[in-house]
Amino acid sequence: MSEIPGQLKFTRDHEWVREHDDGTVEVGITDHAQTALGDLVFIELPDTGGSFTAHDACCVVESVKAASDVYCPLAGTIVNTNEILIEKPELVNNDPYGEGWLFRLRPDLPSELEGLLDDKNYERLLAEDNE
Amino acid sequence: MPFIPHTESDTQAMLRDMGVEDIEELFDEIPSELRCLGLKGIPKALTEFQLARLMRERSAKDQIKLNFMGAGAYEHHIPAAVWEITTRGEYYSAYTPYQAEASQGTLQVIYEYQTMMASLTGLDVSNASLYDGASALAEAILMAVRINRKSRSKRVLIPKTVHPFYVDVVGSITGNQGIQIVQLPYDNETGQVSLSALDAHSHEDITAIVIPQTNVFGVLEEVHTITQWAVDHDVLAIALVNPVALGLLKPPGEWGPDGVAIACGEGQPLGIPLSSGGPYFGFLSCREAFVRQLPGRLVGRTTDLEGTQGFTLTLQAREQHIRRSRATSNICTNQGLMVTAATIYMSLLGPRGLRRVAEHCHAKTRDLVSVMSGIDGVDEVFTGKRFHEAVLRLPVSAEAVLNVLSEWGILGGVSLSSWYPELGEALLVCATETKSDDDLKIYGQALRAAIDQVSEA
């Protein structure tokens, strides 16, 4: 059973979103996603300052046998990226909700957060996928 | 014999199963104007013996001429062992490895090839080859545009001293990807990229620059100065190099303050016969930081669970079968057989052998130029230092002279009049290590006579 922290929001594409007091959000991929991908060997981060709409492919996570796009969960502008991952992509496997965060985003419309899944709904989504 | 496994009754059974009457129905959704119905201009099929006879007749028309042509394809001595080994069944039948790890021999050849090309270009990694030098340059440019995120313009500087065919191929491959090619003029005196024309671009957003070494005139470019300029202006430097010249010259990995980002070129001089223009192969190498943008196959060396050396395909996640439309390139394959020959050629020569080939080429061309310059009205056009080609101006039509020489069994060079009309009656000549002093003497006499014949006509 993969870990699903209660205080985060989730997307159907297995990204997580953490809200910060300054109005920005932190984005990463879920424990379920990193397990499915396997050992990550490379992460292509978005450019700081780049702006995306929701569901834009903005980042690539690559394991030994697959590469997968990470979609921007909300429309917004990238304010920071986790550069350490370029050298240590395994942090995403080891600590997907902590040190393995991918990027920080300033959402264009904070109300878009309402559209994301909470932990219970994300858990249900995983259970349905399993069936 | 049709090499199709389905019999007519297999086909009918499949159609019945799908509830379709006719194979044509399967293509219904394709608009008729997009369909290519029949191949026009293709003559009727020949039987095997008719075809063999036709080809024999055609090949009999080939003559072994004394060859002084270069311009991108070069006649070199190929040790007999190269193709003797390359055409062994084990190599000859092995195309790109599909059951990759089962083909350890093929993988090892590619690994050795990559190691040699990385070392020859002075860069960290090489791919397993591409179709030819021109398409390698196009891939290098696509790479550069992906790598250089500081630049938004997708403008790429290509000197006019790059072979015009290469520029055409680059245009075909990159033209629909929003990449703009800007041509840089050359200095009329030296035959090198004009540095003042280059400086004029200093305040523009330029993504990449192509630096040929040697250039289409056979002249050596100021590669250090141009690479330094690229570094100073956040322009990605791409070296387009002759691999034999690298036996003698500084590798692109050492140009400028800390080398170019990407090097590419035509691999034909490394043991591949001229054979009417192909197949040849392109090489492409880069710094390790850009390896994920490098298209094509990469083979790595590793150890298995028992501690034995093994070879494996690495970084496949960039390729089309995994990344689909977002793959690094549509190119996954490599020129396996040509690469095998080149690897054996390089291993037989070694760095010292390659250097000696390069030295001989340089010396023969110097001698050729001095023979030619002794003829009235024939002068070398450029003052820039050259490797194994030179441009000479003739007092009469270069095309006409070449026609006369050809009748006498000599391929006298390449006329530059259609590519570079501003040079007048200019002839690009090349003498490799294959030319003896007698050959040069014969050429000199024939050229003198041909010029006389043309001027009297």
Q: pLDDT tens across A5-52, in order?
A: 889 999 999 999 999 999 999 999 999 999 999 999 889 999 999 999
Q: In this structure, is residue A1 part of a structural domain?
A: no
Give the three-class secondary structure for B140. Answer: helix
- For residue A48, what is the nearest residue in chain B, using CA coordinates? B149
* Distance between B132 CA and the closest CA of chain A, angstroms: 29
Q: How far apart are CA B2 and CA B213, in angstroms?
A: 48
In this prediction, residues A80-90 reach a mean pLDDT of 95
Task: Kindly state the DSSP code that residue B308 receives in the 8-state scheme.
Answer: -
Closest approach of B323 to chain A, Cα-based (Å)? 6
Residue A116 lies in a domain: no
Task: Say how far apart CA B383 and CA B189 lie, in whole Å.
Answer: 6
**Chain B contact for A39 (CB, 8 A cutoff):** no
Q: Tell me, yes or no, whether A37 lies in a domain.
A: yes
Cross-chain residue pair A67–B292, CB shorter than 8 Å: no
Residue A3 counted as domain residue: no
Per-residue pLDDT, averaged over A74-98, amounts to: 96
Neighboring chain A residues of B323 at a CB cutoff of 8 Å = 67
Whether B292 and A44 lie within 8 Å, measured CB to CB: yes
- Which helix (H) or strand (E) covers residue B264, if one does? strand B262-266
In a domain, A129, yes or no: no
Residue A62 lies in domain: 9-110
Instruction: Tell me how many domains chain A contains.
Output: 1
Residue among B137, B145, B226, B148 nearest B178 (CA): B145
In a domain, A126, yes or no: no
Inter-chain contact A67–B149, Cβ cutoff 8 Å? no
> What's the Cα-to-Cα distance from B156 to each of A116, B56, B385, B436, rounded to whole Å?
43, 46, 26, 41
Question: Which among B143, B156, B157 is positioned nearest to B262, based on CA atoms?
Answer: B143
pLDDT score at B36: 82
**CB distance B317–A66 less than 8 Å?**
yes
Predicted-complex ipTM score: 0.70
Q: Scanning every residue of chain B, which has its alpha carbon at the shortest distance from the alpha carbon of A63?
A: B317
The pLDDT of residue B2:
66
B289 inside 8 A of chain A by CB: no
Q: Chain-wide mean pLDDT for chain A?
A: 93
Average pLDDT along chain B, 457 residues, taken 10 residues at a time: 81 94 90 85 92 93 90 97 92 68 86 98 96 96 93 96 98 93 97 97 97 98 98 97 97 97 98 92 96 90 93 80 75 84 97 98 97 95 97 97 96 96 97 97 97 93
DSSP state string for B407-420 = HTTEE--EE-TTT-
**Is A123 part of any domain?**
no
CATH number of the domain at A50, please. 2.40.50.100
Identify the structural domains of chain B with CATH numbers, from first to last: 66-73+351-456 (3.90.1150.10), 80-345 (3.40.640.10)
Q: What angle do CA B414, B417, B422 make, to 5 degrees?
A: 135
Contacts of A69 in chain B (CB under 8 A): 326
Using the beta-carbon criterion (under 8 Å), do B317 and A64 form an inter-chain contact? yes
* Two tokens, residue A31: 């424990």
Strand partners, A12: none
Q: pLDDT value at position B84? A: 96
Q: Is residue A121 situated within a structural domain? A: no
